[in-house]
Amino acid sequence: MFKITQTASYSWPVSVNIPTNGGLYEKQTFDGDFKRLADSRLKEIRMAVEKEEMTDADFVREVMVGWKGVTDGTNDVPFSESALAQLLDIPGVSGAIVTAVIESLSGLKRKN
């Protein structure tokens, strides 16, 4: 059975490889809460990205509505616009979030 009415958002795991010493990476994860976009909006976004009118960070700001598992090392960091801006300032994070969203929608890995 397929439900034509879907929830407004959904949670999906995000994995980010953070560079560490010695040429190694540390895999860090959290669950992102993403707004469901209409297929027509997804097509508009794809065209905007192809024309370089939208960055990965712009896309994340449009679709991310929350998270679980983001901390300051000790305490959970509540989702907010300023916390999202801080997260997106970490190299590689916006691309990892975009990859997670694309995988959640298509099951395919994003081309780099």
pLDDT of residue 57: 95
The tens digit of pLDDT for each residue in 30-49 reads 999 999 998 899 899 989 98
Neighbour tally for 79: CB within 10 Å: 16
The tens digit of pLDDT for each residue in 67-109 reads 999 999 999 999 999 999 999 999 999 999 999 999 998 864 4
Domains of the chain, by residue range, sit at: 14-106
Rounded to whole angstroms, the Cα distance separating 111 from 83 reads 28
The region of weakest confidence among 10-14, 51-55, 106-110 is 106-110
Total residue length of the chain:
112
> Tell me, what amino acid is at 16?
V
- 3-state DSSP call for residue 33? strand
Rounded to whole angstroms, the Cα distance separating 36 from 42 reads 10
CA atoms within 13 A on the CB side of 29: 8
